[in-house]
Structure 1
Amino acid sequence: MDLPRIFTIRESSHRLHNPITPGKLAALGQALHLEPGTRVLDLASGSGELLCTWARDHGVTGTGVDISTVFTEKARARAAELGVADRVTFVHDDAVGFVADEPVDVAACVGATWIGDGVAGTVELLGESLRPGGLTLIGEPYWRREVPDRETAEACHARDKDDFLVLPELIEQFGGLGYDVVEMVLADQDSWDRYQAAQWLNLRRWLDRNPGDELADEVRAELTTAPAHYARYQREYLGWGVFALMRR
């Protein structure tokens, strides 16, 4: 049970595995008015930056669950680096279907709603771990503007243009699920640049060190096409945000 190697190669230098910057992550923590002792469950927690920095800055406690052995070890190392290893725990496990042993104050899935087969299923899954009155955090893509065709949608890693919604419709979807949107922090194009462009440097440095690896041809092909592909499609059409929800 693990992520394919290409994912960990591509994002080897990343502390955040989505287009939220450290500043925006900090702003979100401040906006939520987190109190010391707030219990957080973070499903698909990646390298643990949300839990670790919020434990340092706000005194939260919690558990992160991720399928990647590489990212889980990075998360544990980050917790030790920031002096919060006694407050946060990282578990190598499949986040699909994961429910906390005890209700938490904040249940998060920031950028991996595939664990619930989409937004609705992920919101439902997180709700199984959440105390009454708690906060749900969902990170999800949306269209910055209407997508002209299926080719553009597929270039943005969607099966078709109905896979994602434009921002107002995404917010309305949360309402239709019975939740109020009480905060949001949105990526901008610079956030996307920092997330995506950093991958190209990771790929190139890995390729220079590992020219004979079985993945070398795949990495070379991606590095050759990814920058222009990103500039032509994802940068122009794909948005992303973290949305804080409370059940009505």
Structure 2
Amino acid sequence: MDIPRIFNITEARHRIHNPFMPEDLETLGAALDLRSGTRILDLGSGSGEMLCTWARDYGVVGTGVDMSQLFHTQANSRAQELGVSGLVNFCHNDAAGYVSTEKVDIAACVGATWIGAGIQGTIELLNKSLRKGGMILIGEPYWIQTPPTEEIAKGCLAGAISEYLLLPDLLAFFNQLNYDVVEMVLANQNGWDRYEASKWLTMRRWLEQNPKDELFEEVRALLHSEPERHTRYTREYMGWGIFALMAR
């Protein structure tokens, strides 16, 4: 079980697999008024940075679930590095359909809503693990401005313009699902650049070390195209944020 290998290659050096910076996670943790013993489930937890740093800073406990064997290993290493292995654990598993055996205070899916075939399905999945009165965290892209053409939307790596919403429309959609939006922290331009641009040096070093690998040409093509694609499309049109929701 693993994610497509190309993502393990391009994001091998990432601690956070979305456009958030460490200070954004700090801001979110403080905004949520996290307390010692708060139980969190993180589906699609990547390299575990959110759970590990919140365990260190606030004493939260929890479980992260991710399909990537590499990210799973990195998450366990990060927990050991920060001295929080007794507070958090990481499960190498498919997050799609995963339900905690124990109800949690916060159920999160940060940047992986494909596990529920979209926002609504992911919220429904997370709710199965959530205690009554608990909080859901959803990390999701949105349009800063609507792309004028489908070609531009695809340049942002969206399947179509309809795949994402403008920020006010995204918040309205949460409202339509009968959830109050009780907090949000939005990524900024620097977060996007760090998420995207740090892949480029990773890819270049990988190419130098793996000239005969079967994915060499694919990685070579990405390194050629991604700097222009990011600066032409993502920086102009894409936003990203984590939204805290509570059912009414």
Q: Deviations over 1:84-132 (max 9, x none)?
A: 0011000000000000001100000000000000000001110010001
CA contact (8 A) 2:68 2:92 kept: yes
* SS at 2:240 equivalent: strand
* SS at 1:162 equivalent: helix
Q: CA RMSD in A?
A: 0.6
Matched residues, percent identical? 60
CA contact (8 A) 2:179 2:246 kept: yes
Aligned twin of 1:52:
52
Aligned twin of 1:156:
156
Letter in 2 for 1:174: F
1:189 deviation in Å? Answer: 1.1
Aligned twin of 1:128:
128
Q: Deviations over 1:186-230 (max 9, x none)?
A: 011111001000001100011111111111111111100110111
Letter in 1 for 2:137: L
Letter in 1 for 2:101: D
Q: Deviations over 1:57-96 (max 9, x none)?
A: 0000000000011100100010000000011000000000
Aligned twin of 2:99:
99
Counterpart-to-counterpart distance in 2, 1:220 and 1:146: 31
Counterpart-to-counterpart distance in 2, 1:157 and 1:96: 22
Letter in 2 for 1:2: D
Letter in 1 for 2:208: D
1:146 deviation in Å? Answer: 1.5
Aligned twin of 1:204:
204
Moved over 6 A (4+): none
Aligned twin of 2:225:
225
1:158 deviation in Å? Answer: 1.3
Letter in 2 for 1:240: W
TM-score by length of 2: 0.99
Letter in 2 for 1:3: I
Letter in 1 for 2:4: P
Structure 1, unmatched stretches of 5+, are none
Structure 2, unmatched stretches of 5+, are none
Aligned twin of 2:90:
90
Aligned twin of 1:138:
138
TM-score by length of 1: 0.99
Q: Deviations over 1:222-245 (max 9, x none)?
A: 100110111111110011000000
